[in-house]
Structures are given as structure tokens and as C-alpha cells.
Structure 1
Amino acid sequence: MTRVNLDGLQSFYALSNARQIPLLGLGVYLIEPGKATEDAVLWALQAGYRHIDTASMYRNEVSVGNAIRKSGIPRDQIFVTTKLYDHDQGFESAISACELSLEKLGLDYIDLYLIHSPNPGPERRNDSWKALQKLVALGKVKSIGVSNYGVHHLKELLGSNPTIRPVVNQIEVHPWLTARKLSRFVSLSIIAVEAYSPLSRGHKLEDPMLGKIAAKYSKSPAQVLVRWSLQKGYIVLPKSAHKDRIEQNADVFDFDLADGDMNVMDSFNEGYVSGWDPTVAP
């Protein structure tokens, strides 16, 4: 198994467009807008995170932007991702949705803008990608990608010979949902895998074998899961609204899971989807 050289929270992944994205980010899905989101983002930035992942559907873009400004950290040192939700897909509607996200975030540009899912179908997916390419040309977005795309969706997009190819596919990945076929196709297409719900939304944290592996390294089950994703070469987005857990999820750069333990965790795979699964949409 390939060893991954990681340099703490300053570890970056070089995207296919030569831009860099921090390997570890804070996801803010299901964190209430207002103080809860602002606190979580501020705690993460104070802990050294430089990557925040939100979406228009999360309803907390305003709070993310407020926290970024309150942090006092220069804008160019924070990588911000947001997403185009299903009901906004289409060419003109995608342009308008991005502009609204920029307004809510209070930012001049978005580092990474993703199509949130393939659910609206081929025509609207295609029009949305054309819009995202225009947003890059306008300087409103630095990088573009997709989320929850299955192999057939990616083949459709890449087969359209786009001017700009997606730099990431953000999908649910963890040891109980390794998505081997999809992850392999993504990597072979020179697209980065972003792992959301890397902690299986907490549903599997009590797994006895995971607990044994965690005890071996004197780490928590959550830390071992984050480390598993990092050693797979994924960009990983653990979510938490608790200060201690946000800090703990970032304390994963002082140990290395042995090949045998990585293999054991790979064997957990059971196709367990903790949330939705648009990768199977037509």
C-alpha cells in the first residue's frame, strides 16, 4: 500500500488545474445557521483548518462568511467550497445561484463550486456545467467540480469534451462504503475524490473492530476514520459543531495506520449509505 506523506493541517492536494486544496476541511452540513455555524467555523480556523465546505442547501453560507471575516485570516489563505443545488440547475439559474451564494458568503470569489448532485437529469446537468465554466471565465469561481456523480454521470460529462474538466467528485466514502469502482474511475480520470461523511455520520463509531484499531494507536475511532481517508489519498471533510471534536478530527497527522489495519478497515465495506445516494440517478 502506498504511503502518503502528510504535513499536518498544511497538507495540500494538487488539483488537475494546478490549484491546491487543503486535504482536511470542515464540513458544515446540518449545522444550524447563525451562532452554531459561526462558532464551528471559527473554532476550526483557530485550530488550523483552512478549508470550509458548505452549500446553498445547507442554509448557512451567510454564517460561514461572517466567521471567515471575524477570524481575521486573509481571504486568500482560506479555501471555500459551496454548491449548486438541484432546483437551481440550468444555465441562467446556475449563474444566478452562484451570484447569490457569493452575496451570502460576502466573498469576491468561490474557490470551488460544485454541482451538488446529478438528480435533475442530463439536460440540466449539461447546462449547469456550461454555466460553471462561464463562472470560471468571469473570475467568480476558481475551480469547478461535481458531487454525488456516479461513473455514468462522469462519463457523460467527460464525453461532452468540456472546456474545463471537473477537478473533484465529492462523494460519501468511509470503510463501510468504499465505493471502489467509482473511486478508481475518478482517480483514473485525474479527478480528486473528496470524502464526505467520512465518519459515517457517527453510525459506525461503536464498531468493535474499529475500536480495537483505535486503541492500538491511542486514538479515537473518529480519528482513525479520518486517517484512513487521508491514507487513501482522499480530501476528507469531517463535520462537527463541537469544539473538542473539531480539534480532535484534525489531530491525525502524528500516526500512520499500518497496511494490515488499512486492509482490515477496507474489509468493513458493506455498501452502507448513511445519507442519500444520487450516484445511481439516471
Structure 2
Amino acid sequence: MRLVCPNCDAEYEVDAAAIPLTGRDVQCSNCGHAWFQTHPEMAVDAGLQDTFDGAAAMPEPETEPEPESEPEPEPVDEIGVTGPAVPPAPRPVDEKILAVLREEAEREAAARRDEAVAAKAPVIETQTEMPLAQDQSSMTAAVRRIARLRSAEPEPVVVPPPAPPPASPPKSRRELLPAIEEINSTLRATSDRNSHDDNAISDTMNDGVAASRRFRSGFLMLVLLAVVLVVLYVVAPLIAVRVPALAGPALGYVALADAARLGLDRELRALIDALRELAGSKGD
């Protein structure tokens, strides 16, 4: 048979033999709700009895009172003895009541068929007996303990919120705006610093440009002097032939240049020999 918890609508499939004919207390394992469960046959009988009681309690349709007639004399037999009273005929049952009873009977038969089909289906969950008395006693003790603790707890002390700080007086429009003098001084100091930095950078750049110019000028002068000396060395014999008056200085310059060239050649050869000897000594 199927049990349905009236609190959380949880369904359980249990054996019909677990519920006696007198019924028993069961408890839902989902929400812990307990209720009294009757046997299915007793529930059907109780439903039919309630149906019949409801049908009997229905008010009978009012009928118009019949006019009173004169009482008829009781029949007397030939012997002169009054016969036994005839019992009244049974009152016919209203068709509406019969229809209600038929519907209830059909509903109960359908419910029994559903229960039979459900009994053949696999068991979803079986709930064994639970000691309801112990659970109820433990719940009652827990409720009492909680009530005792609540009564023993002191009432919480309500701390008033701190008072808000006093509002500062509203500032004037002049105080809200920044000071113009401070802005001007800041801008002036910034412009002076920027101009000083620019001047320092420009001075450094000018010094670098001047140094590079001086180096370039000196280098060009040396190159030009070397070119002039080489040209004079080359054209000195021609000058001595064309201008006899300059033959002495021209030839003297050529001799001086040759002596310098030979001296430079000797120095270079000596340096090369020294480097070779040094390289040979390191190789050994």
C-alpha cells in the first residue's frame, strides 16, 4: 500500500500487513511529521459509513400537507376481534442519493484496483516502525530545554548610535576657490625653472657645437698644410728650373723633405723589427 505524508507529500510503498486493522502511528523520514494511519479496508468502510450517514442526514424534500381525513373504523372480522396492525411500507430512496452511492462505490472499487496494481509494482521505500513515544518525549525535553535557555538569556543591551559630528560651517566662495597668488607663484617658478633648464641645455649644445667646429677647423688646417707641403715637394724641381732665384730654397726644401722621409722610414723599419722580435720571443 502507498502512504502519503500530509505535510510534505512524500510517498512510501509499504506492505499492507505492516498496518493492522486498528491502524497505527507512522512518521515521515523526510520531514519528521507523524500521523495516525488506518488500514485500507477500515478506511473504505469508514468512507462508506460516512457516505451513508451523509445521505441519511440529507433533508427530505418537503411535501405539502395532505388534508386531514376522517379516521376510518378499524376492520372487524366476523368474530369481532381486531386484527394485527399492518407495518408501513418502506419509504423509497431518492434517485440522487442512489447516484451518489453508486459513484462512491465505483470510486472505492477503482481505488482498490489501483492499490492492487501498486502492490505488484517494485517497492520504492519501506519504513519500519519507529519509537514515536521516545521521539516525542525527546522532542518535548528539547523544547523545554530551549525555552529554559531562552528565559535565562539576558536581554541584549541596546547601544545607542554615536552622535554625528557637528557640521562644519559652510565655506565662502572665496575659500572654496584656489588662491590666485599661489597659482601665479607656482606658474612663475615653473616657468623660471623651465627657462633655466632650456638655457643650460642651449649652453651645453652651443659648447658642443663650438668644440666640434674647432676640431673640424684644426683638422682641415692640418690636411690643407699637408697638401701644400706635398704640392711644394712635387713642384720644387719645376720651380728651380723656371725661377732660378728660388732654386736654392726649393732644392733645400726637397732635401729636407727627403731627409725627413728617410728618417721616418728608418723609424718605421726599426719599429717593425722590434715588433717582429717581440712576436718571435712570445712564440718561443
Interval of TM-score (by shorter of Structure 1 and Structure 2): under 0.3
* Greater radius of gyration (CA): 2
Alignment TM-score, normalising by the size of structure 2 = 0.18
TM-score by length of 1: 0.18
Structure number with the higher helix fraction is 2
Larger relative contact order (CA 8 Å, sep ≥ 6)? 1
**Richer in strand (by share):** 1
